[in-house]
Structure 1
Amino acid sequence: MSTRPRQLHLNAFLMANGHHEAAWRHPDVTPSASLTLQHYVDIARTAERGRLDSIFFADGMALHGNVKHNTHSAFEPLTLLSALAASTTSIGLIATASTSYNHPYTLARAFASLDHLSGGRAGWNIVTSAGRDEACNFGLPDRPDHAERYARAIEFVQVAKALWDSFDDDAVVADKASGIFADTDRISPINHRGEHFRVRGPLNIRRPVQGHPLLVQAGSSETGREYAARFAEAVFTAQRTFEEGQAFYADVKSRLAAYGRHPDELLVLPGISPVLGRTEREAREREAELNSLITPAYGLAQLSAMLDIELSERDLDAPLPPVGGSTEGNQSRRQLVLDLAAREQLSVRQLLERLAGGRGHRVVAGTPSQVADEIQHWFEHGAADGFNVMPPTLPGGLDDFVDHVVPELQRRGLFRTEYTGATLREHYDLPRPVNPNRLTSSKENAA
């Protein structure tokens, strides 16, 4: 690992109009802009101007939530990020893609393509797709259970990594004099035969610039944490309190040794939605203005999906009704919401307001200095390696963060003033994977 002083990492988590569920209704937001490429080009360039490590788009395989009351992210993220690769030069480009409703060959090829097109800036946020509506779009009567989804996800990533390694880095020689374009001794089928996939290989594109795209994971359940320890290089997580952040950080880092990994090989980036003002009072007023635009019907639909129960408007001013049993959906987010409601004795209406800004992620309203204080405290006291920044509105929320919080973090010596590398792995200070096939080949040649 690097011997350089530890540096903060910042990823911009981008949604159509911003993370607050009522962002599209805010006077400063133009909802129709989110269906234009220029909207995302401008936002990506703002993040790059702030020297952020990366931008990230979530995704789902169905029309989630109640679109009657909110906008949605319409673009498939790999397609969008391919366009943004041509409009930026340095910032990392992370896309969500499901292991439940894709095939390893096509997805490995797509991420390798993005990595080459961007000069080594691609990242993959690995999800297993917990929604029932997603299953229905692929001819299934219901979503696969939690354990089955993760079993498929384990094999999926193993196959994708083998496919990226099916080309040696120097397999393409392009020797005009001899007429040899590729050394076929350095291109190998993977001949994978597993429980979920049979893939011969090799991949039909050379090894990615980064060796493998950066692997990101966002699950915080017991199974999700173990999966992160095994495969992930960055974790996007939702932690409401500093104490919860410390506990998650210590727990997930402690699991890496079982897989022969060092704790520094996995970065933990909790979500934070900063609502900024010149004074704390102004920031609180901005937060209240956004919350005044909430549509309860939308929030109820969101909360019902999180908890895997059905809530109605008659529940609004009562405590959250009993939520029993387990779920095959998103287990960690469900527990976070239940813990929040119990800890603060919230009515359903109050809970909706608390979740409106980030669906369970931490919302911090304050001055740039106060937000920087929060970030520094978590970073320096074992709760985070950086943050997944979730602007409440776009483009304004990201403009405010880049123009006011980033300079404060730079003044404190916590964050870069210039990019020092060209690839996403270099931004995150993570090593480029060595091709295990080449190691085997070298040993055979030496023998």
Structure 2
Amino acid sequence: MTNKDTIQSKLNIDTIRKDFPILFREVNGRPLVYLDNAATSQTPRQVINTIVDYYQNLNANIHRGVHTLSQEATDAYEEARRKIQEHFNIAKPHEVIFTSGTTHSINLVATGFTSFLDKDDEVLVSAMEHHSNIVPWQMLCERTGAKLKVIPMTVDGELKMEEYNKLLSQKTKLVFCNHVSNALGTINPIKGIIDAAHGVGATVLIDGAQAAAHIKADLQALDVDFYTVSAHKMCGPTGVGILYGKEEWLNKLPPYQGGGEMIAEVTFEKTTYADLPHKFEAGTPNICGGIAFGAALDYMNAIGFDMITEYEDELVRYATEQLLTIEGLKIYGTAKHKTSVISFNIKGIHPYDIGTILDKLGIAVRTGHHCAQPIMDFYQIPGTVRASFSFYNTKEEVDVLVEGVKKAKSMLL
């Protein structure tokens, strides 16, 4: 038995896969091979059942009612907040702000910093960011006159840390970086990035959207100021996520939206705002989504993140080895530390054409620039084929992918 088989057996992938109904459907007459997990992961029965149970038995607005349903829904929602706090080792539950996802979280912070920046200040972002961690900061710089500077990357898809340290100065007020690149799979050295930024008095936001499903981040150990997560990347529902923020920063930032729930007292002359976390949670939230996010964390923690990381790393190594046997195939993103993403092209073939044929074979991958167009411009390519993996994928599915790519190549060249 190989080490790879041992890991797959320890994790009991066959049993895990039974928790995901969608994995047993067919697409274009073929068994589905779902390899688009970086876009969104699939949802296990345990989380689906939580969603159904909420609407069947708990459905009521929260924090506002004295009746039983409202109180039970409030308790379940706040219990989910506590689960998130514990999972990410966050000091206080009110440092967990429920949002609609990572994009919402980043925009909340970017908007809040408008009054804190001057025209001589500088904002640093990495060269491998998702558009959601570029555009809000560009908008912030347009509002304030601050300058946006870019931490460069190498051809292997690693940040140039020496150049980063040179960019840092007393003018640096904000640093933004993803924990894991959605287009390349690179795991960035965020602890070093955070510590160096703090050394010049800068504030740091880490986009954890791609990391959270693969790496269990300890936010107190990282000493990060802000960290963002989307539930749908880690077996939860779409439309919900969290912003972690240090209490001192969340108290400084103004509310992002006005409305119900985020107020302490309202008159036509003046409004005072509620305490954390409600200050940033205006209106009726995605109650069911928040509760289901907690259920998704329960599910993944029951499997164990150490096991998940070990298995996914082995799966990516195997997929990399097999794909590189195809002549003309080039992988973009060969960092020493990476996870769960393989972006590739075949010389002479547009990635969209490969993706279209793979779909006809029941294989779901993503093609294009993956909302990371600056990365594609860096490599001078229109985009890539991206296969992204989760703990419920198998070596056998990798084999199907490889054969599918070979078939696409034979049809297109």
TM-score (norm: length of structure 1): 0.26
Provide TM-score, normalisation by structure 2. Answer: 0.27
